[in-house]
Amino acid sequence: MRELFPLLLQGTLVTIGIAVCSTLLAIAMAFAATAARLAPWAPLRWIGNVYVEVFRGTSLLVQLFWFFFVLPLPPFHLELAPFTVAIVGLGLHYGAYGSEILRGALRSVPGGQFEAALALNLSPLTRMRRIILPQAMINALPPATNLMIELLKGTSLVSLITLSDLTFRARQLDEATFKTAQIFTLTLVIYFVLAQILVALMRYFERRASHGMSQRTVR
Amino acid sequence: MNSFFDLHYAAHILPALLRASLYTVLITMVGFAIALVLGLVLAILRRSHLKPLSRGVGFVVEFIRSTPLLIQVYVLFYVLPVYGITMSALTAGTVGIALHYACYTSEVYRAGLNGVARGQWEAACALSLSPWRTYSGVILPQAIRAVIPALGNYLVAMFKDTPVLSAITVVELMQQAKNIGSETFRYLEPITMAGLFFLLISVTFAQLVRRLEFRLRLP
């Protein structure tokens, strides 16, 4: 058991790295796609919708394989490192789901808030940044936490495109030592702990986002 | 060979991919049937008055939900044979995906059960219905109707997760596409077509669920 731990830990670090990078990309993509879908210009809206529907409608593994196997071949000649493929694939996939969450959360902000901000003559950017988004975040964070756990679990698929993450290390150790039961149990526990840490972290952000809000409703 | 998307080649591999997608749909159907039943059992067990039972079920559900399907499938396929339970890849894969999604559907049912008005429970109690009749005649018809859309989402999600089973040598749609690609060194057509199939079939599933929801809605 003791000699397994360092190697699994190395894989865990890779998993965390991929999860963090692709979460950041997913957040960026969620905002970009939502902005595109709410744009006044129709073609931009179509692009946003097509992106969300295509990435939500197909399997994550298919997307990863598409980036990994199809892009290097003739028509594209675009060879990406496995790490890049993992981050781009996960980021685009979960960004599409995130965009749906964000859209729902923006819609949940009462229209009066928008009109009040308009009446105060705030610029569109200030309106979004200071009035709409802070309120939307309260509704967006709980489903976003679930999505981040999905993303963390999704990182296990990158082992199938030769990236040495936690799952890959587990498979490798399994083939080398045949301590199958211990290795996979330990791997499951590591993923579980990572997910719990993520949940605790997001609870903190949820509390911060709703700071002051709950007090107001109590009064 | 230089054409961007070789239609002739695409037509040539179409039958193999169609057969594989039928296989994938079958895995999804069987797996989801198990998940629907098992999820309900888990949800009801979680409401048990026996604290250790409800806590234990709650922990198992939480654990399975926050660890990757890929590793759970590995456990079923590689670890269980150590303890004398040998399953074919197809069985292990179907059971794995069914167990994973049973935990998700149990959460959905839980929300549905919590949504049933308290008076309904009390009325069933006042009429001295047995627990079985309370659930089957009064509670479940109301609880399940409300959660059909959420269950439908998980049907689609489950379908999109079937490619994970390719990791334990189940030849489903994705694996078939990859096999074809590795035989001919043309990945563009098979993997793109696999992606399109996933999109088409998940849209079909979503439509079917919407129709079911429409048929079952309360007048």
Within 8 A of B67 by CB-CB distance, chain A residues are 153, 188, 191-192, 195
- CA of A159 vs chain B CAs: smallest distance (Å): 10
- Nearest-angstrom CA–CA distance, B177 and B183: 10
- CB-based contact A70 B187, cutoff 8 Å: yes
pLDDT of residue A218: 42
| pLDDT for B171 | 82
**Residue-wise burial string across B171-192, b where 16 or more C-beta atoms lie within 10 A, e elsewhere:** bbbbbbbbebbeeeebbbbbbb
Check residues A73 and B66 and name the one with the higher pLDDT.
B66
The per-residue pLDDT for B35 is 94
Q: What is the reported pLDDT for B2?
A: 53
Q: Alpha carbon of B31 to those of B38, B141, B151, B208: distances in Å?
A: 10, 23, 13, 17
Residues of A with CB under 8 A from a CB of B: 53-54, 57-63, 65-66, 69-70, 73-75, 149, 153-157, 159-160, 167, 170-171, 174, 180-181, 184-185, 187-188, 191-192, 195-196
Is the separation of the CB atoms in A144 and A98 below 8 Å? yes
Q: What is the mean pLDDT of residues B4-25?
A: 83
Give the distance, in angstroms, between the CA of residue A150 and the centroid of all CA atoms in the same chain.
8
For residue range B187-200, list pLDDT tens digits in order.
888 888 888 888 89
Provide, rounded to the nearest whole percent, the portion of chain B with pLDDT above 90: 39
Cβ within 8 Å of residue B54, ≥6 positions away: B45, B46, B47, B48
Evaluate the CA torsion angle A62, A192, A99, A23 in order and state its sign.
negative
Residues in chain B: 219
CA distances from A7 to A2, A131, A170, A173, A189 (A): 10, 47, 9, 8, 15
The predicted pLDDT at position A219 comes to 38
pLDDT of residue A214: 55
* pLDDT tens by residue, A205-217: 888 888 766 554 4
Rg (CA), chain A: 21
Instruction: Look at residue A36 in the predicted model and tell me its pLDDT.
Output: 93
pLDDT at residue number B3: 63
Residue A173 tokens read as 């150790």
pLDDT digit string (tens) for A56-106? 888 898 899 889 888 877 767 788 888 999 999 999 999 999 999 999 899
Q: By the CB < 8 Å criterion, does B85 face chain A?
A: no
- Ranked by mean pLDDT, the top range of A119-128, B29-38, B163-172 is B29-38
Alpha-carbon torsion, ordered B96, B99, B100, B106, to 10 deg: 170
Average pLDDT over residues B16-45: 91
What residues make up the domain containing A124? 4-218
d(CA B54, CA B60): 10
The CATH number assigned to the domain holding A30 equals 1.10.3720.10
Report whether pLDDT(B206) > 60: yes
Structural domain count of chain A:
1
Q: Does domain B17-216 have CATH number 1.10.3720.10?
A: yes
Q: Is B172 helix (H, G, I), strand (E, B) or coil?
A: coil
Kindly report, residue by residue over A127-160, the tens digit of the pLDDT: 888 888 888 888 888 899 999 999 999 999 999 8
Token pair, residue B109, equals 């049912």
Minimal-distance CA residue of chain A relative to B3? A75
Q: Tell me how far apart the alpha carbons of residues B17 and B30 are, in angstroms, rounded to a whole number.
A: 20
> Are A180 and B78 inside 8 Å of each other by CB?
yes
Query: What is the pLDDT averaged over residues B96-105?
Result: 94
**Least trusted range by pLDDT, from A16-20, B155-159, B167-171:** B167-171
Mean pLDDT across the stretch B86-102? 91
Burial A20-44 (b: 16+ CB within 10 A, else e): ebbbebbbebbeebbebbeeeeeee
